[in-house]
Amino acid sequence: MDRMRINKGLFSVSKFLMRPIYKIYEKMLWLQIKNGPFPVHIGIIPDGNRRWAKRSGFDPKQGHEYGYQRIKEVLKWIWELNIRYVTVYAMSSENCLYRPLDEREHLFNIVKKGLQELMNMPDIHEKKIQVKVFGRLELVPKDIVELAKKIEEQTKDYREYRLNIALCYGGRQEILDAVRKIVKDAQSGKINPESINEETFSRYLYTNGCPDPDLIIRTSGEVRISNFLLWQSAYSELYFCEAYWPEFRKIDFWRAIRSYQRRERRYGR
């Protein structure tokens, strides 16, 4: 017990001593990135909530709670840089199908709380942020779907920014849904099959109205995109961060921006 107290005390002292160094580094990073260019659209894969909780001695559910609080912070950092479009991978279709029932219910409760907070968040209305929720919504509780429709209706005329929430989402499913809609419209004569191109196809995706993401950030050290925005990410810059999502800091975000700024975007040319 005494050793634990000593360790905690040393950790607190270390954290206190590191604070000024962190602030200096943060200022240095800002000087490096402040003149841009900045991405127009960022995709976020907020991974590692459960592993962070396990490592920290918490219940996995607490990891999701901390992760939700981090999403709210990161969105503010994104909007501070006037980045107009952001897509957050809130829950994958696999999460909604295969996670234990009690964990799914907890995740859905967090989503519900998040949507309720968004409806009353000053930033949404002051910055004119349009909110879209998409994915396999048939897997989502009806009260959350109704809440999503309500906030979409409330923000439908906002055009300055857009927040996409990918809920029970899968990139392959999105592509299949787009193909079905195109086939249906072709059969009814609404579109000529010969005129279908990449631009046409993009209009049938859930992200219709958004440019493709310039940058996709994934936390937790996993190096994959896990069925996220498969069509849209064809030429996205990918940034993989070692930190688990609940511990993702502003300097981690700014490092991702710095990495993006240093890359030469060729789009296959």
Residues of the chain with pLDDT > 90: what percent? 89
Predicted local distance difference test score (pLDDT) of residue 17 = 58
Q: Indicate which residue of 7, 95, 197, 252 is catalytic.
A: 95
Superfamily, domain 41-262? Decaprenyl diphosphate synthase-like (3.40.1180.10)
Predicted local distance difference test score (pLDDT) of residue 210 = 97
Q: What's the chain's average pLDDT?
A: 93
Distance of CA 164 to the CA centre of its chain: 8
Assess whether 214 carries a catalytic annotation.
Answer: no
Q: Indicate which residue of 2, 35, 47, 157 is catalytic.
A: 47
By the 8 A CB rule, do 40 and 84 touch? Answer: yes
pLDDT band (50, 70, 90) for residue 5? low
Q: Is 249 annotated as a binding residue?
A: no
CB-based contacts of 140, cutoff 8 Å, min separation 6 = 96, 108, 111, 148, 167, 168
Assess whether 177 carries a catalytic annotation.
Answer: no
> How, if at all, do strands 215-218 and 161-169 pair?
unpaired
Predicted local distance difference test score (pLDDT) of residue 22 = 84
226 pLDDT exceeds 80?
yes
Q: Is 224 annotated as a binding residue?
A: yes
Summarised one tens digit per residue, pLDDT across range 180-197 is 999 999 999 999 999 999
**Whole-model pTM?**
0.91
Predicted local distance difference test score (pLDDT) of residue 15 = 57
13 pLDDT exceeds 80?
no
Give the number of other Cβ atoms within 10 Å of residue 130's Cβ: 21
Q: Is 123 annotated as a binding residue?
A: no
End-to-end CA distance of the chain: 62
Please report the DSSP string for 174-221 in residue order. HHHHHHHHHHHHHHTTSS-GGG--HHHHHHTSTTTTSPPPSEEEE-TT
Summarised one tens digit per residue, pLDDT across range 98-133 is 999 999 999 999 999 999 999 999 999 999 999 999
Residues of the chain with pLDDT > 70: what percent? 93
